[in-house]
Amino acid sequence: MARLVLKFGGTSVADLERLERVARRIKAEWGQGHELAVIVSAMAGQTNYLVNLVRSASALADLREYDVVVSSGEQVTSGLLAIILQRLGVPARSWMGWQLPVRTTVQHGSARVEAIETAELRRRFKEERQVAVLAGFQGLADDGRTTTLGRGGSDTSAVALAAAIEADRCDIYTDVDGIYTSDPRIVAKARKLERITYEEMLEMASLGAKVLQTRSVELAMKHRLCVQVRSSFEDRPGTLVVDEEEIVEQAVVSGIAHSLDEAKVTLTRIPDRPGIAAAIFGPLADAAINIDMIVQNISLDGEITDMTFTVSRGELDRALMVLEKNRDTLRYESLERDDKVAKVSVVGVGMCSHAGVAQKMFTTLAEKGINIQVITTSEIKISVLVAEDYLELALRALHSAYGLDAD
Amino acid sequence: MARLVLKFGGTSVADLERLERVARRIKAEWGQGHELAVIVSAMAGQTNYLVNLVRSASALADLREYDVVVSSGEQVTSGLLAIILQRLGVPARSWMGWQLPVRTTVQHGSARVEAIETAELRRRFKEERQVAVLAGFQGLADDGRTTTLGRGGSDTSAVALAAAIEADRCDIYTDVDGIYTSDPRIVAKARKLERITYEEMLEMASLGAKVLQTRSVELAMKHRLCVQVRSSFEDRPGTLVVDEEEIVEQAVVSGIAHSLDEAKVTLTRIPDRPGIAAAIFGPLADAAINIDMIVQNISLDGEITDMTFTVSRGELDRALMVLEKNRDTLRYESLERDDKVAKVSVVGVGMCSHAGVAQKMFTTLAEKGINIQVITTSEIKISVLVAEDYLELALRALHSAYGLDAD
């Protein structure tokens, strides 16, 4: 008997037929005597539909109201799944974020889970063998209002709940059957990984591998919680996200990630003075816009420089709006945008003990005539920004160069 | 300066364009210094969509989970309207039933409002001139879960809130411009009423005039609250629902209502013994199925009789299921169903002081060769059940017979 959290993403619950399949899978686990908490996302497409409604209603919508509208998607799925489980003879009830509650920060639109009250869930596991079906992606802030955790937040709901109820494992059911060395839709020779470390998964997630939300991996790592990414359509093991010591043979590079959700902003000819970065990024942070890569040009005359950074494409317009509002204080000459860029990243925990990993990346891209626009590095990854048109070429070349190709 | 409750139904908030129009109308009222609470329904079609999802998930869905799914429609509309109002410069925030809270009974799927906490709303009216946008149709029960008030429940939310905040008037904005002497889509000579009494409106509502939910009229009558039914698409006065003394010239018959939401059930050859009605209707009441008209045949031999009653069409299958389950105790010979019936009702507070109103109804229908299947009467209305095919003919004939036709 184990205590498990099962999380089903949007494509796994896209319609009633799929929800039925999900319910049967839950019933099978339940039939083995496991204690189960299930986290569901909104039905595929629903969150986008709701987000678009909000955006059409106002370009700068109150994020508290955004949360009201957008959190309704998970509400619907959790109620429906509880109904289907009951029909199959499995005691189940839905829980909204405000009910448990799932306590979060008050940062609407991208709140963080702070605590989850689980006494009632544990009691129902024991006494009623009840399956808890929690609406993912949502919580309750101290302002008494529903919050959402940011896109992909249901993963975080799942891991946070798994930590709170001290689950033995958290299974993330999704439309892929595991973590690959690269996106198999682009790199035909990509291989599925049996295991991957938290650290690598974290980089992969934050670098655009859309399988798990970054925050959820952080949380899993913090609690040393075993997470399995597996297919909701096939019944075979997925990829386990685990501690480094649980991996016997560690490759230098585990995978090549990429992201098309990048947009580049350049402020030209800004004064090169202390505090200028704070002046630029402060207002963006206030508007809850996340900055990814940043490059400040070498200032030739010591007075004027350029600043380049990337944001997610969905936040580009908002970022530009904020910068235009602050034009007088920032004193840039022009504000340039480019959303035809892609980020390509090489990831591996073995990297920190091996030299030449970066050099191989630069050489490989140079040989294919691919220009690198921005570079950032960390202990276990190197990321470069390239023109979107070169994405596929770059991925395949790097996948081969690091010896990741399947036989 | 007045305190008003404005309620907008599903067709008035069917899409963003209409929500924008609603927001502008609210802004105009707000600009005149009024304190405003707004109640919104789900966008047109959304509740039906959600109800169908639930029904497809399970024929006998847990009503607590039904409420989780179905209440999401109003949630979306209230958030969107708050966003649009803010964009137009009107301070506004959405409120879910669980937030105020709107306290209801625990009867999921058809809960009744018990109390609404309004201190915070009143404070915000005064201090922030904030418009409250309440998701209609929903509340919070003592079980800590969201309830819904039954179809059309947003009207009840509106009137209950108006009573709670001691509003000067409750305006129900809808897709018709008032209450008519009969359904103008069927009776071309139907006239709009300037005023109607609570009692008449109550009968009209419970008899199928879908403009106001019955419960909302009861509540308005209880609190002597002036309710106006008016068009959200045209800017002219609608029909005021008021006390009888506020109506100067009261006609004998005010209107002819009808309902197609009727289904007839007959239990043949049941034992005619004391308690048989309780034995039949007890289990139906337990299943929260409302019975409308009831006829028990005269028992010829004093031992065996037939029982006929009507339920709403949506509950017919469930009613039959309940009766079949109790077949052994009820000992009926056969269970017959007919959902091709319509109810036609003549309504008027003047009726109780005038003789011959019923006689005129029976004569008029007889002259047209329309067979009456069931009759029920009250102080101010007479209802008959006829075959659905005769509905239009019956309505027009009665409308003329009682002198209601427009010139």
The answer to whether the Cβ–Cβ distance between B72 and A76 falls below 8 Å is yes
CA-atom Rg of chain A in angstroms: 22
Spell out which residues of chain A touch residue B79, defining contact as CB-CB under 8 Å: 54, 65-69
**Three-class SS state of A285:** helix
Average the pLDDT over A347-351 and give the result.
87
Identify the three-state secondary structure at position A305. Answer: strand
Out of B76, B78, B86, whose CB is closest to A62?
B86
Nearest-angstrom CA–CA distance, B286 and B281: 9
Looking at chain B, the whole-number percentage of residues with pLDDT higher than 90 is 74
Give the model's pLDDT for residue A208.
Answer: 61
- Rounded to whole angstroms, the Cα distance separating A329 from A308 reads 18
Write down the pLDDT at residue A247: 77
Minimum distance, in Å, between the CA of residue B133 and any CA atom of chain A:
11
Q: Strand ranges (DSSP E) for A278-352? A: 294-296, 304-311, 334-347
ipTM: 0.78
Over residues B283-288, the mean pLDDT reads 90
Whether A134 contacts A78, CB under 8 Å: yes
Average pLDDT (A76-105) is 98
CATH number (1.10.1840.10, 3.30.470.10, 3.40.1160.10, 3.40.640.10) of A3-175 reads 3.40.1160.10
pLDDT at B23 over 80: yes
Scan for tokens 């602050």, then name that residue: A326
Work out the widest C-alpha separation in chain B, in whole angstroms. 75
CB of A263 within 8 A of CB of A342?
A: no
Q: Determine the distance in angstroms separating the CA of A316 from the nearest CA of chain B, rounded to an integer.
A: 21
Interface check A24 vs B, CB under 8 A: no
Token representation of residue A177: 């059957």
Residue B68 to residue A53, Cβ atoms within 8 A:
no
pLDDT number for residue B96: 98
Cβ contact A147:A111 at 8 Å: yes
> Chain A within 8 Å of B24 (Cβ-Cβ)?
no
What's the confidence (pLDDT) of residue B112?
93
Residues of B in contact with A65 (CB under 8 A): 79-80, 82-83, 86, 93-94
CB contact under 8 A, B72 and A75: yes
Could you tell me the residue ranges of all domains in chain A?
A: 3-175
Question: For residue A84, which phi and psi values (nearest 5 degrees)?
Answer: -65, -40
- One-letter-per-residue 3-state SS of chain B: CCEEEEEECHHHHCCHHHHHHHHHHHHHHHHCCCEEEEEECCCCCHHHHHHHHHHHHCCCCCHHHHHHHHCHHHHHHHHHHHHHHHHCCCCEEEECCCCCCEEECCCCCCCCEEEECCHHHHHHHHHHCCEEEEECCEEECCCCCEEECCCCHHHHHHHHHHHHCCCCEEEEEECCCCCECCCCCCCCCCCECCEEEHHHHHHHHHCCCCCCCHHHHHHHHHHCCCEEEEECCCCCCCEEEECHHHCCCCCCCCEEEEEEEEEEEEEEEEECCCCHHHHHHHHHHHCCCCCCCEEECCCCCCCEEEEEEEECHHHHHHHHHHHHHCHHHHCCCCEEEEEEEEEEEEECHHHHHCCCHHHHHHHHHHHCCCCCCEEEEECCEEEEEEEHHHHHHHHHHHHHHCCCCCC
Q: Which two tokens stand for residue B23?
A: 């927001």
The mean per-residue pLDDT over the stretch A228-246 comes to: 89
| Closest CA in chain A for residue B67 | A79
Q: Do B75 and A78 touch (CB under 8 A)?
A: no
How confident is the model at residue B208, as a pLDDT? 61
Quote the pLDDT of residue B209: 64
The chain B residue lying nearest A144, using CA atoms, is B99
Interface size, chain A vs chain B, as Cβ–Cβ contacts under 8 Å: 113
Q: Give me the pLDDT at residue B318, please.
A: 94
Among chain A residues, the shortest Cα distance to B73 is held by A72
pLDDT in the model for residue A300: 65
- Tell me how far apart the alpha carbons of residues B177 and B156 are, in angstroms, rounded to a whole number: 19
Tell which of A76, A90, A121 to mutate to test the B interface (max B CBs under 10 Å). Answer: A76
B210 pLDDT exceeds 80? no
Q: What tens digit of pLDDT does each residue of A223-235 get?
A: 999 999 999 888 8
Q: Are A196 and A178 in contact (CB under 8 A)?
A: no
- Tell me which chain B residues have a C-beta less than 8 angstroms from the C-beta of A57: 16, 19, 80, 83-84, 87
Say yes or no: B65 contacts chain A, CB-CB below 8 A: yes
Residue B51 touches chain A, beta carbons under 8 Å: no
B141-160 per-position pLDDT tens digit: 999 999 999 877 999 999 99
Mean pLDDT of B74-92: 98
Query: Which 8-state DSSP code applies to residue A180?
Result: B
In the structure, what pLDDT confidence band is assigned to residue B133 with cuts at 50, 70 and 90?
very high
pLDDT band at B310 (very low <50, low <70, confident <90, very high): very high
Chain position carrying tokens 């998701």: B135
Report the gap between the CA of A80 and the closest CA in chain B (Å): 6
B346-391, pLDDT tens digit by residue?
Answer: 999 888 778 788 889 999 999 999 999 999 888 889 999 999 999 9
